[in-house]
Every structure is written in C-alpha cells, then in structure tokens.
Structure 1
Amino acid sequence: MLTTTRNPQSDAQQLRAQFLAAKREQKLRNRDAAAAIGITEGEALAACVGAEAIRLLPNFIEILEEVPQLGAVMALTRNDNVVHEKDGVYEKMSHNGQVGLALGEAIDLRIFYKQWHFGCAVIEEVTRGSESSLQKSLQFYDLHGEAVHKVFLREHSNHAAFDELVARWRDPQQLAGITVEPAPPAAIDKNDAEIDGDGFHTAWRNMTDTHQFFGLLRDFGVSRTQALRLAPPQFVRQVDNGAVRLILDQAAASGLPIMVFVGNRGMIQIHSGPVSNIKPMEPWLNVLDSGFNLHLREDKIASSWVVSKPTSDGEVTSLELFDADGGTIAMLFGVRKPGQPELPAWRAAAMSLPLLPTEADAEAQA
C-alpha cells in the first residue's frame, strides 16, 4: 500500500518503463506489476498516458451513463481480496447527486462517484495462448490509486461507440501521472463498554429495511465487525471460514439462486442468479460461469458471519466475509426482490453452515 505522495509527472516515463518491464518479464497483471515496483495501479496507468492510456476528463457520471452505448461488455469491480466480473449491458443508469445506479438485468451497480479521482481509456495488446489482440477498456481509480471500476470491451461490443465516447471525453492536455494520497488506516473500534448495548439491540430489532443497518453503525459509532459481535445473539452466528466454499457448493448443486456483493470505496457490484462451476485453485476460490466470474482469496478471510436483519418483509439472511482489518470482502444473500420474503432454501443453507469452533471445542477435542 502506498505511504507517500509522488510528483505526478516528473517520473512518469521511468515508472511506465519499470511497469511494462515488470509485466513483460514477470508475466504479471497490471495491479501486480504496479505493486512489484512499489506503486499503485492507478499511478501505473497514469504513467502510461500518451501511450497505452488516454486520460479522460473527470466527468465520471456522464461517461459511465454513456456506457450503455457500448453494448454487451464485461464489468469488473474488486477490492484487495476478491474480483467480481459480470458480462452484460449497462441499463437503467441514473444518479442522485454523487450516488449512481445501474439496474440492468445482468449488470447491477451502486456507484459512489465522490470517490472517483482518475479515469482513462486503455488500449493494450494482450496475448492469450499464441494469439495477440487489442484489448479496450475504461478504467477508473480513487484518490489512493486503487481501482474502483473497469469496463472491458468484448469482441462483440460496439467498438465504434467506444472510440466516439473516448474522443468526446478525452482530456485535451493528456498529462501523464497522478498524485495519490495514502489510504486511511483501518478504523480502531471503540471499547465495547462505551457502546449503548441496550439501545443498540433495540435499534437492531426495530430495523424494517436492510439499508437501515448503515445508519445503525453510524448512530452507535461501531464498525461492521464490532456490530456483529455486539448484536442480539439470535441474529448473528460466527461460522467457520470455509463457509463461503460450502455455500457456493450447495448453491451449485441445488440450483439455488444467490446474490454476491463485492465492493470498494467507489462501487458495489452485484451478481444475482445461479452459480454452477465452482473451482478452488489455492489460494483462490473461483466461480467460472458463463457471464459471471468470481475470484476470492480464501486465505484472506479472517472472519465469517451469518447475519439476520429484520425487515418489513421478514428477516433477511446474509453470509458476510471480512479481512483481518475488518474490511468487507464480500456478502452473499439469497435472490430476493423488494416486497418479497427471502427464499427459505437460502435461509436453511445459511443456517446449516458450521459454527466457528470455540477454544472450549478445541480443548474438548484435544
């Protein structure tokens, strides 16, 4: 993770050379090649402005709301520990201030434009097997140089519309390099004794919508993992960290449709539907389906929770995965439309997941 700021232009040419050398010699993807030379992916792509990358104006709302013109593409959203890829068309785009939505049948997004800092169009040669081709994409990064969202064209996408979009939103100056800021440190939880436990329990029980959970965290000054530790016990179960593999295997075997949420500071991307091709490749757990790919670092899961939240449609159950800093890796739900109760099969599957063994359990087995 970056800990210092950089001059945005003075070393761009050198950074580009180092970045491309790391990609070529170590056969690394962009994010890993950037990390290999001690910079963020956003810095690496900004260093390529004038060559592989075209700097776009910071009109992020207008740009993304023109993406439907590109036809069927691949949307990619990731955080440090999981990559979420969906094929489809951007549809039903809207925004209210700096918060946007895409509510397409395949591509379902919650967009936080306030976090977006740098955008570029990337045209680079990629090699698959013995064949090389040009890959076109739109890529967006936050103030810390971390990717918030990418749009990759497929062979059948509207490439002419892409060229027109890039020409329309191309920054006239095309300056290489960006200045990034250090990512904020992980929040430190308050002492549990400082939390109004009774009030917190009452507020939890009185939720009528899952979105009220964010207000609950804010009102009581608790992190997400601290909230789960302090929740009314009938609403939370800490489960074994192998739970995500178990639930994906169950969903694949039964055809149970699920929702998989993956997000970062600037984006949440959602898959809704069945999963079928579950492929563990240590340390990655992968879903390799037509139209949906997920790549999740199982070894980075520090805690896993089955969580129930009251709503006006009945309780809604999720499997929530967190890293060692308490950051959300991913959340899984059963497919559900507003106004409908959740699928009983999803709740049964979630509730069947094995609990995290306690120290007493370990002692009993010793």
Structure 2
Amino acid sequence: MSVTDLPTHVASLAERWAQFKLDNPKSRIRDAAQQLGTSEAELLATQCSGQPDAAVVRLTTDFANLLGQVPALGRVMALTRNDSVVHERKGAYEKVSVKGPMGLVLGEDIDLRLFMSHWQFGFAVTENDRRSLQFFTQDGEAVHKIYLTEDSNAAAYNELVSHFRAPEQAPELTTLPAPEPAAETPDADIDVAGFRDAWRALTDTHDFFGMLRQFSVSRTQALRLGPPELVQRLDNTAIVRGLEAAAASGLNIMLFVASRGCIQIHTGPVQRLVTAGPWFNVLDPEFNLHLKLGDVAETWLVKKPTTEGLVHSLELYDAQGRNLLLFFGKRKPGIPEQDAWRELVTGL
C-alpha cells in the first residue's frame, strides 16, 4: 500500500511525518507526535501496510500472553519514559506474570510493575534495522517498549510477531482522549491531623498509596501536608548531587520511572554521569537514564516508617504535580535500609 492509496487524512499524516523526519533527522517520534498534533501510535499506524515487508505490524491486544513469550527473546533493552525522564535497562525478561489488571516482571535486570488497563495498542516496529515491540495507551501515548539487542533471539522475535499479528492491519487508528486527572481535594477539606497520624503509623511502604486514597490526598498535596519531620523540600539540584555521590561511592541504588502503564526500576550502581544540553544522563553499559532537569519543579526528601525502620527516598515532580522519578537505596522487604544510603540522602 502506497501513501496515495491511504485515506486522505492518513496520507497527509504519513507525508507530514516523512517530511518532519527529513527536516529533523535526530528528532524522536515522541517529539514528532507533539509537533504534528497527534500521537506516537497514530504515526506508527500510518506505516501498517499489511505487506510482508511492512515497517510496522499491528499486534493483537492479548498482551498477557504476548508478554509471557518475551523471555524467549533473551537479552533485550526495556524502555519506559514520561515527558521528562527516559529509563533504559538491558537484560532478560524473567518471572513474567499478568493477573487481571496487574503485571510483574521480576528479573535481576528487568524489573517492572505493569498496569494493564492502560495497555490499548501494540506494534512490532522495524526502524533502521532496529526491531522493537511497542505498547500504547488509549490516546496513543507510549507505555513501554522492548528493543532487540545484538544478543537477542531474532528468530523468537519473528515467531512472536507472526503469532500475535492482528488480522486487521489498517493504517488508521481510533484513539480516545486521555482520562482527565482527578480534581485535587481542597486542603481545607483534608483531615490533616488524621493523615499525619496515619503516615506516622505506617509499617510498610506499600501502604502509602492506600493511605493517600483513604484521605483523598494527591501525591504532592501529601508532601505539603505530611508530618514535618518526615517530609522536607529540597532544591532541584539534589538529584544531581545524589547521583554524583552514589557514583563516587559505588552504592547500590534504585531508580523508579513511570509511564501511565508501567513502572520500570533499575537496581544497582551508577557510574558514568554526563550533562548534555538540558539533559542529565546516566550512560552505563547496562543502564541509561535521561532526565530533563528543567522540568523538575519540586524535589522532596520523603521518609516512610516500616517495621524495619524509616525508608528514605528522593522524589521529583513536574509543574503539574506528576511524579518524574523516585530515588531509593537498594533494599529488600524485611531488610533495614542501608546506613550508607541514609547518610547520602539526608546529606542532600
């Protein structure tokens, strides 16, 4: 199928994207979608010709079974991002499970929490001989991508794409608007004293989000209204200083980055830190992080009580109150936090 065979509005989008790539050869598809007033998924769909050599193949929405086949690909690169942070981790998908709306990948290298209600579209994409599986929300925003590496099992990838190829390979995609974020409850309507007492009484970090729902408190509102001894606003260079300190000490840390449908976690050291233009980067062989520092509007040191003592984290938010990144010391449930991490983060 050529561009001239496409419906007019799809052909126009395909042509505008082609021209955009010519004019901006180093630009990413996320930037192209924003500039062209569309979504990544809609751009990819324009390349679904249904031909054997198509650059993009639409996949079925049987994502649970598809993800169950990803371990066969071997060593890949997992990518999860939001507008301001990109998290890339190499490794194998291990211990994959999807039960209803929740999914887990619990490998030593690839560590994910999946929120399947946001997974609406999937594509297999070939671009400049780089092959990937890419997944999107109902409005066409990327939730997670899986790229083959030089060590991946290409035959297993081809078999997966063939098995999960959607019967319909139309170049048009019907998207729906993103859900409107819930309105924040006015501070005056919050039981602040009760909320602070509940925070102080926590015994597990995983109970924190249930507590927010219980008191109808947003994430950044919780930081503003939380117990003064357990939350502290820091300047927005704290993340740079924290990562520099971690790199200098070789400390094992945890970095969480979320899209709407996936939280991706790096556990281990960081080594090579590089600033390039607006981006602060970790550029290690197995792990890359790209943070647009100018988007960080709020940085908080947060302490959560557990049965093993306090757990400290650094939390970054943008001007809309969206979480960009969470920074912890390496820790397993039932094991106290590292003293070295606690010294590092409280020193910021």
Q: Tell me what 2:47 maps to.
A: 48
Q: Tell me what 2:227 maps to.
A: 232
The TM-score normalised by the length of structure 2 is 0.94
Q: Assess if the C-alpha contact under 8 Å between 1:9 and 1:178 holds in 2.
A: no
Q: CA deviation at 1:191?
A: 1.9
Q: Tell me what 1:364 maps to.
A: none
1:255-312 alpha-carbon deviations (Å, 9 max, x no partner)? 0111000001100000000000011113101000010000001000000000000111
Q: Distance in 1 between matches of 2:166 and 2:307?
A: 48
Q: CA deviation at 1:13?
A: 2.6
Q: Distance in 1 between matches of 2:106 and 2:282?
A: 22
SS in 1 for 2:306: coil
Q: Tell me what 1:359 maps to.
A: none
Q: Distance in 1 between matches of 2:246 and 2:266?
A: 14
**Which of 315, 332, 338 is the aligned partner of 2:333?**
338
Q: Tell me what 1:30 maps to.
A: 29
Q: Distance in 1 between matches of 2:306 and 2:238?
A: 24
**Which of 94, 97, 101 is the aligned partner of 1:98?**
101
Q: Distance in 2 between matches of 1:214 and 1:260?
A: 18
Q: CA deviation at 1:254?
A: 0.5
1:310-361 alpha-carbon deviations (Å, 9 max, x no partner)? 11121111000000010000000000011101111111111111xxxxxxxx
Q: Tell me what 1:357 maps to.
A: none
Q: Distance in 2 between matches of 1:60 and 1:217?
A: 30
**Which of 139, 145, 153 is the aligned partner of 1:158?**
153
What is the identity, as a one-letter code, of the residue corresponding to 2:100? G
Cα distance 1:9–1:110, how it changes in 2: closer, same or farther (>3 A)? farther
SS in 2 for 1:325: coil
Q: Does 1:242 align with 2:237?
A: yes
Q: Distance in 2 between matches of 1:302 and 1:72?
A: 36
Q: Distance in 2 between matches of 1:19 and 1:70?
A: 30
**Which of 315, 318, 321 is the aligned partner of 2:313?**
318
1:163-199 alpha-carbon deviations (Å, 9 max, x no partner)? 0000000011111222222334454432211100111
Q: Does 1:350 align with 2:348?
A: no
**Matched-pair identity in %:** 51
Q: Tell me what 1:13 maps to.
A: 11
Q: Distance in 1 between matches of 2:261 and 2:159?
A: 25
What is the identity, as a one-letter code, of the residue corresponding to 1:73? V
Q: Does 1:202 align with 2:197?
A: yes
Q: Which runs of 5+ in 1 are unaligned?
A: 1-7, 126-133, 354-366
Q: Tell me what 1:65 maps to.
A: 68
Q: Tell me what 2:3 maps to.
A: none
1:168-187 equivalent positions in 2, closer than 5 A? 168-187=163-182
RMSD of Structure 2 on Structure 1 (CA)? 1.3
Q: Which runs of 5+ in 2 are unaligned?
A: 1-5
Q: CA deviation at 1:9?
A: 6.4
1:40-65 alpha-carbon deviations (Å, 9 max, x no partner)? 11111122212321000001111111
Q: CA deviation at 1:18?
A: 1.4
Q: Distance in 1 between matches of 2:294 and 2:346?
A: 23
SS in 1 for 2:270: coil
What is the identity, as a one-letter code, of the residue corresponding to 2:184? D
Q: Tell me what 1:257 maps to.
A: 252
What is the identity, as a one-letter code, of the residue corresponding to 1:29? R
What is the identity, as a one-letter code, of the residue corresponding to 1:336? R
Q: Tell me what 2:87 maps to.
A: 84
1:259-338 equivalent positions in 2, closer than 5 A? 259-338=254-333
1:201-223 alpha-carbon deviations (Å, 9 max, x no partner)? 11101111111111111111111
What is the identity, as a one-letter code, of the residue corresponding to 1:61? A
SS in 1 for 2:44: helix
Cα distance 1:9–1:304, how it changes in 2: closer, same or farther (>3 A)? farther
Q: Assess if the C-alpha contact under 8 Å between 1:84 and 1:293 holds in 2.
A: yes
What is the identity, as a one-letter code, of the residue corresponding to 1:15? L
The TM-score normalised by the length of structure 1 is 0.90
**Which of 99, 107, 110 is the aligned partner of 1:107?**
110
Q: CA deviation at 1:12?
A: 2.3
1:115-168 alpha-carbon deviations (Å, 9 max, x no partner)? 00100000122xxxxxxxx11000000012110000000122100000000000
**Which of 121, 129, 150 is the aligned partner of 1:118?**
121
SS in 2 for 1:154: strand
SS in 2 for 1:226: helix
1:57-100 alpha-carbon deviations (Å, 9 max, x no partner)? 00111111111000000000000110000000000111221201
Q: CA deviation at 1:20?
A: 2.2
After TM superposition, the runs of 4+ consecutive aligned structure 1 residues lying more than 6 A away are none
Q: Distance in 2 between matches of 1:224 and 1:248?
A: 23
Cα distance 1:188–1:156, how it changes in 2: closer, same or farther (>3 A)? same
Out of 71-80 and 187-196, give the one that drifted further: 187-196
Q: Tell me what 2:213 maps to.
A: 218
How many equivalent pairs are there? 338
